[in-house]
Amino acid sequence: MIEPLIHVQNLVQRIGGQEILRGLNLDLFPGETLVLLGKSGGGKSVFLRHLIGLMRPVSGSIVFEGSEITTLKERELEPIRRKIGMLFQDGALFDSMNVFDNVAFPLRERGEHDPAVVREKVARSLAMVNMTGHEHKMPVNLSGGMRKRVALARAIISPPDVILYDEPTAGLDPIVSDSINRLIRRLQSQLRVTSLVVTHDMVSCNRVADRVALLHEGRIHFLGTTQQLRDAQDPIIRDFVDGRSGETVY
């Protein structure tokens, strides 16, 4: 039996008196792309932040490659964070640096100062996300989709074992969304990374997912394949899949 790369058990988180995660259980297996669906404000991004130690749970456990990470101190998390790349919702590019320096940042921080090596790796990373030729632009001059692609180039320049995508297609037009979805698939096939994609975009889910989980009221309500999700008769799943609000229309 394959051991999960990330094993989450009974994760509980409260923010401002509200229980966001209520005992969430989930396993992420090596090499798979798991899509986590759920309503906006349902705790998907909060959950993602726990996986990289940006938030600490009230209770519960997250085991990454056999190590419990919820009890680690900030500096003890650094070796784990080097193995996990994260794409933030709006890219979170460093606005004082241009595209080249943003993408080169992780390399330089990990001790690579040879300009030729840095140039070559940045060029390769930017080519993977179709952003060649934009090296000297500042983040403020990039569109939302371009920012996300640069952020992805930054996340993959030192190839991680896992990539966490926070709403990779939110706010993008269908064409750019499609290019991001293809990119996620391409990264999985080329770099063999394990991916967790948080989204509420069903099109994106169908394009990239090996497995799908639905987060509802702080717990995993459904876990299965995209086909099982489409065939499910559970009203909560159907509302989500069919895009129904559940409210009466007058």
DSSP conformational letter for 247: P
Binding flag, residue 95, other proteins (CB under 8 A)? yes
Q: Is 100 helix (H, G, I), strand (E, B) or coil?
A: helix
For other proteins, the closer of residues 53 and 57 by Cβ is: 53
CA-to-CA separations, 85 to 16, 151, 175, 181, 195, in angstroms, rounded:
28, 10, 24, 17, 9
Least distance to other proteins, CB of residue 228, Å: 32
Q: Which residue matches tokens 């394009």?
A: 207
Pairing of strands 219-224, 211-216: antiparallel
Q: Does 74 bind other proteins (CB under 8 A)?
A: yes
Which residues in 18-57 contact other proteins (CB under 8 A)? Answer: 49, 52-54
Q: Which CB atom, from 95 or from 242, has the smaller least distance to other proteins? A: 95
Does 171 contact other proteins by CB under 8 A?
no
Give dist(CA 20, CA 16) in Å, integer: 10
Cβ closest to other proteins, residue 25 vs residue 105: 105
Q: Give the range of 10-18, 33-41, 92-100, 218-226 binding other proteins by CB under 8 A.
A: 92-100
93 near other proteins, judged by CB under 8 A = yes
Using the rule CB under 8 A, is 86 a contact of other proteins?
A: yes
Residues 109-148 that bind other proteins (CB under 8 A): 109
Q: Structure tokens of 176? A: 């750019």
Q: What's the closest the beta carbon of residue 42 comes to other proteins, in angstroms?
A: 19
Angle, nearest 10°, between helix axes 174-191 and 115-128? 120
84 is a site residue for other proteins (CB under 8 A): yes
Query: CB atoms < 10 A from the CB of 42, how many?
Result: 20
Kindly tell me the burial class for residue 181, based on how many C-beta atoms sit within 10 Å of its own C-beta (0-12, 13-18, 19 or more): buried
Q: Which residue in the set 22, 39, 81, 230 belongs to the binding site for other proteins (CB under 8 A)?
A: 81
Q: Where on the chain is the footprint of other proteins (CB under 8 A)?
A: 49, 52-54, 74-75, 77-79, 81-82, 84-86, 88-90, 92-95, 105-106, 109, 154
